Structure 1
């Protein structure tokens, strides 16, 4: 209820902004005796401009959102010119760097960004093995620049505001190679998108922490462990008092065994449990 009232209060405040600007403009212009100096013509014109043009501040906010979306769509277009000139692999590297991300080429351990120079442009055998796109504006269309990378092992999409469930459905192209994936902090990812990850059979590390659109986090965690039994999952930890998922024998499975093993080691060290 409080959240709904806050949403209603903001538009009401914006709609009354014109009256506030008009009041300031009128009081400053027609006050005969005041300790404040009379506004000059430039200031008066500026206040009048605000009064006439920005009647509805919500329109400005909406325009700003549409401008940001248009900019994201523009930067996520498939770069056919780079592909024709440099090839598929180099074009993918240039796309990641253009979004201010980082890349790791095959056979190398260090990460490169757009500040380190583009020395790989002349390496025809350069292959993209890691892509760090955390915090960038990559979206569904932008994945067109990466889907043909058959050597991609690491992909970081954490804190990407435009990554949604449809975007995760395209990750099946990396089912043979992808080993590490981070989706932490993606606001649009839900349970439906996470269900698409069952195709990533070679995944060994998955970060799904801080996903605000996922409601039943414990159930999703159990489902992910069933889909990806060989993957280490970070985030959505089991809270205390929640029953652990059972295996075919009716036991708590691998998680219960790990907890029992940890408890046994603590007893051997003389730690009370």
Structure 2
């Protein structure tokens, strides 16, 4: 990192609420090693404005996977996400930091902050869909019902208890038919059609291509690579990293090789 490097440190509101101590430690480490501008946005709109006005400062996000995904999405919409490498100090609950870990960001606050200062920018691929959404690490089609359901509130729990008292409980999640009727095409080649029940499709952008794994119901998995993936069928939801979207009837994803840069430890291998 050069002596003239300047950082725009954007602290996600969720990180401030969940772990103020880790936020303080990260700020101290970053401020001791570089000229920093600390920003405390109150919500997504202000977050976007601060990022757009960063100028020559290198953006550093303190937050979880959702904050990282939001940042890369905004950079992609600028049509020049490679202008400056992005850095992340992961702060949040472990289940919301899986993408950061998978991409190679150190899990500890101090180690991650030092990586911001001493690491190197590594080019990573993106999956970009036809609505402008991006996938950093993993795409699941369709999203499972468990992942797509928000945690219950106290009121929801009370209503569930009342329903349980007046009628039989629903079948457990593992007993629900998980097969789906979807048409899957890779670079225009048909891999699965609606007449073949499909339990799921997992996709990762790696090495300039999308690596696909299809799980037909009652049949061996099917593996393929492609530049463009198209999924159509009855209303379905999908999980892009930490975000569940849909329902939609058609979605197309395209690989953008080396479309963004993330600061990672110097000794880390290619992701």
User: For the superposition of Structure 1 and Structure 2, which TM-score range results when normalised by the shorter chain?
Assistant: under 0.3
Identify the structure with the greater helix proportion.
Answer: 1
Q: What TM-score do the two structures reach when normalised by structure 1? A: 0.26
The structure with the largest alpha-carbon Rg is: 1
RCO higher in 1 or 2 (8 Å CA, sep ≥ 6)?
Answer: 2
**Higher normalized strand content (fraction of residues):** 2
The alignment's TM-score, normalised by the length of structure 2, stands at 0.26
